[in-house]
Amino acid sequence: MYAFNYHRPDTLEAAAAALAAAEDGRVMAGGQTLIPTLKQRLASPSDVVDLATVPGLGGVRREGDAIVVGAMVRHAEVAASAEVRAAIPALASLADGIGDPQVRNCGTIGGSIVNADPAADYPAAVVGLGATVRTDRRTIVGDDFFTGLFETALDEGEIVVSVSFPVPRRAAYVKFPNPASRYAVVGVMVADTASGIRVAVTGAGDSVFRVGAMETALAGNFSADAIRNVAVSQDALNEDIHASAEYRAHLVGVMARRAVAAAAG
């Protein structure tokens, strides 16, 4: 780890100010990606702004037809939340399947979505459930939040405050984990929402994406069979030693069908 200035602000404004003043500042939420990256000397920020003591970023609450999760809420808290389990069990189960117990007890939803790892689980929930992301400056529609490989729509110094998930009629998330890292090789969130059927895929591409053809097919017939013949193009899908693009494309279909079956349950 290289040396850096460490900040532990008491307010969101102070956090934003510390970031603005830093030459190359990084926000730390749960630190489950940042700290390993720092330890391996793969990043050398001038300043790290720790949100641990900033008020107003915690809590899971029901607001009308949505579940609002504070940016600093740990995965384990989402997984165990009675509100989430009652309203969006798919979200609780997704959170319960992230990483290992240590990651789930330290990692946060805000940290996960801001990092925008192409193999992270939460992006599938944000896009698949049609969530909106509230920051210290504005509200960003989930569909617009992830813009590429480790890229989001956030501006420089913008801090995520919470994520609001509309409660779907039914939804399920199924993933195929990387055997080594247990990140998603392919993870699919299928949701039947007030704004229509949504199918969001993480792990397979640079960034989470929706599969329109599946959404259309499911709108008429919400069953696994309805998407059995929907081909997923392997163009632009990720390739690594664990999964070729061809295998990933195949797994998108398998995971989507299993998610539909689970949601239709």
Q: Does 245 bind other proteins (CB under 8 A)?
A: no
For other proteins, what does the binding mask look like between residues 133 and 172, x meaning CB under 8 A? ----------------------------------------
Shortest approach of other proteins to residue 97 CB, angstroms? 12
Q: Does 223 bind other proteins (CB under 8 A)?
A: no
Q: Does 5 bind other proteins (CB under 8 A)?
A: no
**DSSP 8-state secondary structure symbol assigned to residue 11:** S
Shortest approach of other proteins to residue 231 CB, angstroms? 15
Q: Where are the beta strands (DSSP E) in 142-208?
A: 146-148, 151-152, 160-166, 170-177, 184-193, 196-202
Q: Which residues touch 10 (CB under 8 Å, ≥6 apart)?
A: 53, 54, 55
Q: Does 247 bind other proteins (CB under 8 A)?
A: yes
For other proteins, what does the binding mask look like between residues 31 and 70, x meaning CB under 8 A? ---------xx-----------------------------
First to last CA, the chain: 48
Q: Does 241 bind other proteins (CB under 8 A)?
A: yes
Within 101-140, the residues that bind other proteins by CB under 8 A are none
What b/e sequence results for 207-239 when a residue is b if at least 16 CB atoms lie within 10 Å of its CB, and e otherwise? bbbbbeebbebbeeebebebbeebebebeebbe
Helix, strand, or coil (residue 58): coil
Q: Does 214 bind other proteins (CB under 8 A)?
A: no
Q: Does 176 bind other proteins (CB under 8 A)?
A: yes
Shortest approach of other proteins to residue 14 CB, angstroms? 29
Helix, strand, or coil (residue 163): strand
Q: 8, 134, 170, 250: which one contacts other proteins (CB under 8 A)?
A: 250
How far, in Å, are 118, 130, 226 from residue 189 at the CA level?
Answer: 14, 11, 16
Q: Does 242 bind other proteins (CB under 8 A)?
A: yes
